[in-house]
């Protein structure tokens, strides 16, 4: 419940599919942003049995924001006894939507890994999955329990006992979800770790999924109702717990990469391939670039470098990583100081930080919204190779140049991946050491990078590509050169 609720910035309307014992409802009602919870449970008798014999599961008497002893009677809760799958398809399965959309939908019903024919048919039904998607607001979140966590010895989902899980993931992606994350919890007393899948309609929500522990603690402090007893509102969830969910279990990656159609990211990011060559920092040097008069510093080969070599692994993994929340603060402060003439000295200090990060770093949205990674050491001096003259990059992106790429054609492949336990487990690798030399580079030759792979923010893609074109045409100069010449 809480990981999906925290991933949404302000969940007001929540749907629960199943959840007859009332525990999911109880946890949702702890969030003070919630105005309405629609619980659809097919078994009314089960609800009454749980109300009578498992009252602690649906007890809201200690929640300050609740007006009932039983969560089923809370004025924010609406409990309908009907087939939730049919209800969603009737309500959101056509163009004529009859219900207000939800911010969060929680599936607390049959797990897709259960060996029951009806379960497999439900999750293969595109109409139902589409109805779930249509039933969410634009920044909506959907979460479902998948059942027992994969084991390292399991076959790939597309050939093993979890075929229904694979079908469901594919259906959710086809429906239009932009980002999906898998995690597991081993303290639920299910005799084995249990896994869950959370899905975002807007990939920007990745930034909330990857908040640090302190940020999550603040969210919980602001979000949760206090208790009448004075006890903590949550017994098993906090910021550190949430951070643990951000990196999937190793078995998820192993099983994912056993699929017959092996995902591309398994070859690119699943650890450091021992066959990859890495040239040491001693084989690189920095001096004035040969690209142009105002190109500034450049990166040169101090020895012959073979094709397909990575540049100084030992330095790349130590790159500066400015997280989304931190970068947002830097930008806001810089703009604030720039708009106020009386803050000239403050602007000067902020300008150096901003220009260094923006000029030497590369932007990405792998964590949902714009963040910046700056290579450690002299690798940061690698200049852009105009019109396809770059010698460092990836072969997947080698055909794209600033001249032939579309202004609406963002090519950042890792950031566009909807579901990847590999990238989630190797985030720093995906951000730091993907590029390699595209041909043999001779001693003394300047190494040139493909800056298109550094432009990760789709909101600024057209502006950034246009700027590259103008720099290559000699109509403007880069941010670092401009700062050093005129500031």
What is the set of active-site residues? Answer: 108
Contact 106, 17 (CB under 8 A): yes
DSSP3 helix / strand / coil % (the chain, rounded to 5): 40, 20, 40
Pairing of strands 136-148, 102-108: parallel
Residue 479: C-alpha distances to residues 215, 249, 464 (Å): 32, 41, 12
Q: Cα separation of 65 and 196, whole Å? A: 28
Residue 59: other Cβ atoms inside 10 A: 17
Spatial CA neighbour of 109 closest among 140, 142, 138:
142
DSSP helix/strand/coil, 157: coil
Q: Cα separation of 326 and 318, whole Å? A: 18
Tracing tokens 């470098």 back to the chain, one arrives at: 305
Pairing of strands 362-364, 371-374: antiparallel
Q: Hey, what are 53's tokens?
A: 């014999």
Contact 183, 248 (CB under 8 A): yes
Q: Cα separation of 52 and 170, whole Å? A: 40
DSSP 398: T
Burial pattern 460-469, b for ≥16 Cβ within 10 A else e, equals ebeebbebbb
Contact 173, 418 (CB under 8 A): yes
Contact 409, 465 (CB under 8 A): no
Contact 411, 405 (CB under 8 A): yes
Number of continuous H segments (helices) and E segments (strands) in the chain: 19, 18
> DSSP letters of 293-339?
TT--EEEEESS-B-TTEEE-HHHHTT-EEE-HHHHHHHHHHHHHHHH
Residue 282: other Cβ atoms inside 10 A: 9
- Alpha helix (H) ranges present in 340-407? 344-360
Residue 302: other Cβ atoms inside 10 A: 15
């Amino acid at each position: 419940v809480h990981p999906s609720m925290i991933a949404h910035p302000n969940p007001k309307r929540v749907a629960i599919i199943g959840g007859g014992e009332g525990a999911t409802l109880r946890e949702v009602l702890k969030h003070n942003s919630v105005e309405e919870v629609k619980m659809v449970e097919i078994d009314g008798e089960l609800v009454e049995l749980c109300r009578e014999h498992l009252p602690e599961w649906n007890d809201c008497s200690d929640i300050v924001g609740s007006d009932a002893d039983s969560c089923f009677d809370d004025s924010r809760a609406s409990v309908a006894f009907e087939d939730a799958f049919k209800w969603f398809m009737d309500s959101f399965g056509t163009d004529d939507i009859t219900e207000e959309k939800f911010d969060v939908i929680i599936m607390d019903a049959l797990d897709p890994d259960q060996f029951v024919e009806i379960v497999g048919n439900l999750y293969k039904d595109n109409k139902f999955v589409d109805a779930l998607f249509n039933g969410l607001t634009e920044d909506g979140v959907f979460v479902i329990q998948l059942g027992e966590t994969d084991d390292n010895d399991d076959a790939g989902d597309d050939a093993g006992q979890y075929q229904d899980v694979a079908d469901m993931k594919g259906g959710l992606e086809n429906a239009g979800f932009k980002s999906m994350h898998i995690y597991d919890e081993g303290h639920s007393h299910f005799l084995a770790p249990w896994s869950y899948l959370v899905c975002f309609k807007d990939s920007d929500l990745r930034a909330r999924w990857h908040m640090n522990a302190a940020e999550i603690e603040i969210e919980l402090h602001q979000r949760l109702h206090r208790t009448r007893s004075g006890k903590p509102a949550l017994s098993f969830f906090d910021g550190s717990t949430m951070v643990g969910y951000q990196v999937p279990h190793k078995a998820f990656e192993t099983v994912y990469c056993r699929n017959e159609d092996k995902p591309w990211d398994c070859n690119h990011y699943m650890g450091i391939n021992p066959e990859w060559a890495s040239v040491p920092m001693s084989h690189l040097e920095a001096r004035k670039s040969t690209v142009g008069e105002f190109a500034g510093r450049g990166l040169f080969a101090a020895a012959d470098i073979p094709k397909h070599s990575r540049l100084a692994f030992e330095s790349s993994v130590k790159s500066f990583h400015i997280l989304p929340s931190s970068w947002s603060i830097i930008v806001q402060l810089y703009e604030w100081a720039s708009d106020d003439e009386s803050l000239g000295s403050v602007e000067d200090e902020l300008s150096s930080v901003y220009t260094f990060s923006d000029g030497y770093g590369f932007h990405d949205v792998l964590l949902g919204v714009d963040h910046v990674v700056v290579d450690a050491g002299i690798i940061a001096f690698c200049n852009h190779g105009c019109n396809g003259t770059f010698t460092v990059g990836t072969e997947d992106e080698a055909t794209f140049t600033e001249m032939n790429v579309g202004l609406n054609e963002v090519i950042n492949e890792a950031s566009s991946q909807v579901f990847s336990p590999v990238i989630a487990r190797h985030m720093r690798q995906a951000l730091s050491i993907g590029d390699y030399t595209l041909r043999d580079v001779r001693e003394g030759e300047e190494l040139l990078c493909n800056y298109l792979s550094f432009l990760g923010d789709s909101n600024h893609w057209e502006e950034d590509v246009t700027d590259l074109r103008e720099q290559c045409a000699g109509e403007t100069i880069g941010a670092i050169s401009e700062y050093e010449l005129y500031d």
